[in-house]
Structures are given as structure tokens and as C-alpha cells.
Amino acid sequence: MNKGIYYYVTIATDQEGYHLLHRQECKRLPAKQDMIFIGTLYNLNQALSTARINFKKVKPCIKCCIRYSSPVIRESVRPVHHFPQKMI
Ligand SMILES: [Zn+2]
């Protein structure tokens, strides 16, 4: 198992009332007094569910959580025709 990552939740909320979940190394991490340390966790889902025990609306920070935790391949996949259909 990998070592845990320190996760924080902001006390302030955004316009929609969401608290942001941050990893310790996030460049957008607010000041320490503006955050709550929720624990040393091993993945984003674990951190989110822990955060949601304490906060109703939590969403992961795009900069740190989404970018590093879930490598989403954003390239659109083009279907490949192995046998090109000819127009008859
Ligand atoms: Zn962040």
C-alpha cells in the first residue's frame, strides 16, 4: 500500500456551497487556519467519503485531487474501421 496523503477541506465554501477537498501539496491550498485536516488517506474516494461525514457538500479540488488521483484520458477515442466500408 502506498503511504497516505494528507487531505484538507476548506472551511469556506464556493458560490454553490461546496467545500473543497485539497491534498497537502496543492498549490491552491488556503492558509492553515482556513482548512480542516480530515486525515491521512490513500485515495480520493476515501478522502471524499471521510470529508462528507463532516461536510454535506464537498468536491475535490481540480488542481490537486482530480489531476493526480484519477488519470482520466481526455483524448477522444476515434473508432477504427479495420475494414473500410466502400461506398457502393
Ligand atoms: Zn487543491
pLDDT in tens, 5-57: 999 999 999 999 999 999 999 999 999 999 999 999 999 999 999 999 999 99
Q: How far is the CA of 44 from the centre of ligand 1 (A)?
A: 12
| DSSP H helical ranges for 1-88 | 44-54, 67-69
Asked if the model's pLDDT at residue 68 lies above 60, the reply is no
Q: How far is the CA of 22 from the centre of ligand 1 (A)?
A: 4
Query: Backbone dihedral region of 58: left (phi > 0), alpha (psi from -120 to 50 degrees) or beta?
Result: beta
The predicted pLDDT at position 53 comes to 94
DSSP letter assigned to residue 13: E
Task: Report the candidate in 67, 61, 47 with the shortest Cα–Cα distance to residue 14.
Answer: 61
Task: Report the candidate in 3, 42, 37, 4 with the shortest Cα–Cα distance to residue 22.
Answer: 37
Asked if the model's pLDDT at residue 84 lies above 90, the reply is no
| Sign of the torsion angle spanned by Cα atoms 50, 38, 13, 71 | negative
